[in-house]
Structure 1
Amino acid sequence: MAREAPYLEVAEDLRARIKRGEWAEGGRLPSRAQLAEEYGVGRNVTQRAVDRLIVEGLLEGRAGSGTYVRQPRERRRMLRTRHREQRGGSPFRTGLREQGGDAGWESHSEARTPAPARIAQRLGIAEGDPCVRTTYEFLADRQPVQLSESWEPMAITGDTPIVLPELGPLAGKGVVERMRSIGIEVETALEVPRPGRATVAEAALLGVAPGDLLLHIERTYYATDGRAVETADITVPDVRWEIAYEIDIRHG
């Protein structure tokens, strides 16, 4: 019977050694070259074996430092509920404060960005219509925990003080409060969650391993007249956050 590919055999042996406690949680593994010499294989074999265990979540790579046995991380609950929107301000910051954490974010906005087809469909506008696109990196206790890309039609906000979400008199106050300031009441939000795996770029931004489970949330806010006023793609690492939805039965 044919043997398994060499990298799978190395990965299986490394997996067993990790489970036996040969390297403690947070401990550094030998270099790829050392492992290759130990197993009598090429470095590309040990590279593939280590990459496989990183995807599985047993190991983590640290740029310029090496490969380490991954330590368990606290997993918090992120509650998605309309009540946080009604309180004003950022729902993310409100939720984290309730858990005793410190929240913040970094953002970058670009005005007059043509809406791509998928965004135009969600906003009910024509492809290419100008929007404000804002990217966010949310932080909890100074660690990256969530990514978001938001789109707002400039036909709604273009001639108002809130055209840039993180500048002006209501900077950082959230979509609901900002829209209310220009006479638009946000009535509903539609969220579509989808599972995914972290790309190399997403893993670097979120401090997780490539291939880690993610939750992608497609969110769109609607005003009382049915118009979509904002849509966003939110990315949450499953290893850090459990997503929970609160449903108000009285209004359900």
Structure 2
Amino acid sequence: MNISAGQKPILIVGGTGKTGRRVAQRLAEQGLPLRIGSRNASPAFDWEQPETWAASLEGVCAAYITYYPDLAVSGAAEMVGDFIRLAVRKGVIRLVLLSGRGEPEAQHAEKLLQQSGADWTIVRASWFMQNFSESMMLEPIIAGTLALPADGVREPFIHADDIADVVTAALTDDRHIGQLYEVTGPRMLTFAQATAEIAKATGRNIDYLTITPAEFMQGLAAENVPDDIAALVNELFTVVLDGRNEYISNGVREALGRAPRDFSIFASETAATGIWEQRQ
């Protein structure tokens, strides 16, 4: 049945993250009860502490599952599978999983969800546009030079608001049960082209440099990025971004009946916030 106000809460795992907080906002605007799954929430949720999972799942009717740091990491699917099985045992009816394109570990997690017996939906997303504004690429853009180990490979960057719209629909509308939506933006861009669009939107000179993976890892180490996170990011750039995802999918239109947001819209709207301006 469709989920509506007055029913049991919806759990948002990673409810303070890029997509999680947007989904939480949309559910709240609809007057739906929700529970944030994060380390600072009450009850607390921590992927690394499975003993915290049961309390977060208590009495919920549905859950949006995002895995930190990323479903691409080794062992992620097994952990997500354990969570899914616990959720089903706790009586959670609907599960929506955020997955990634071209990631074998993520696709293993997808299969575990499909076999779980829950009412499932999978949202398999391309790289987020918000990685340029809410993640590790923000500070280099502010500084005026973004240097990455990515040359000519193109990516159809997806707006986090589009992901949140699809996830919210999947959590609340029965029409999305049993669907796998592969969501991308409407255009493929290289990282250099994306950087140029941000520069145009801000009216600033922002350079893009292609560097080697070794140089990239050295830079992460200099910034004291934890080794496991650095290894993950390096793998995403050097393995997943090998051209396997150079295509556009229609998941947003399939789910919502409209086109996804273009990168130019993201760039202009984000530039207007001032977040990419150089600090004095």
Scaled by the length of structure 1, the TM-score of the pair is 0.25
**Higher fraction of strand:** 1
Structure whose CA Rg is larger: 1
